[in-house]
């Protein structure tokens, strides 16, 4: 997960959040490098992005979960 703060961030404004996939205990960008915008319901401003996961990302997450399950 990436947090970017704008120049006017004195009072917690202008924050930007990018959410990557959480796979195998770490945040990883999607294989496609594609993201979907998240907009504020108040003013429509872009406040973040979330990963657009592909089948490859899902497969990687499932494989990591299977390995983790057996270790658990």
Q: How far apart are CA 61 and CA 72, in angstroms?
A: 16
Contact 22, 64 (CB under 8 A): no
In terms of Cα–Cα distance, which of 27, 28, 26, 4 is closest to 15?
4
pTM of the model: 0.71
**What pLDDT score was predicted for residue 4?**
57
Give the mean pLDDT per block of 10 residues along the chain (72 residues): 52 74 95 94 91 97 95 86
**What pLDDT score was predicted for residue 2?**
58
Q: How far apart are CA 30 and CA 35, in angstroms?
A: 8
């Amino acid at each position: 997960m990436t947090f970017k703060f704008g120049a006017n961030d004195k009072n917690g404004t202008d924050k930007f959040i990018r959410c990557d996939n959480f796979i195998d205990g770490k945040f990883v960008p999607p294989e496609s490098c594609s993201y979907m915008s998240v907009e504020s319901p108040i003013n429509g401003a872009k406040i973040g992005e979330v990963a657009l996961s592909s089948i490859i990302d899902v497969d990687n997450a499932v494989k990591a979960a299977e390995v983790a399950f057996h270790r658990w």
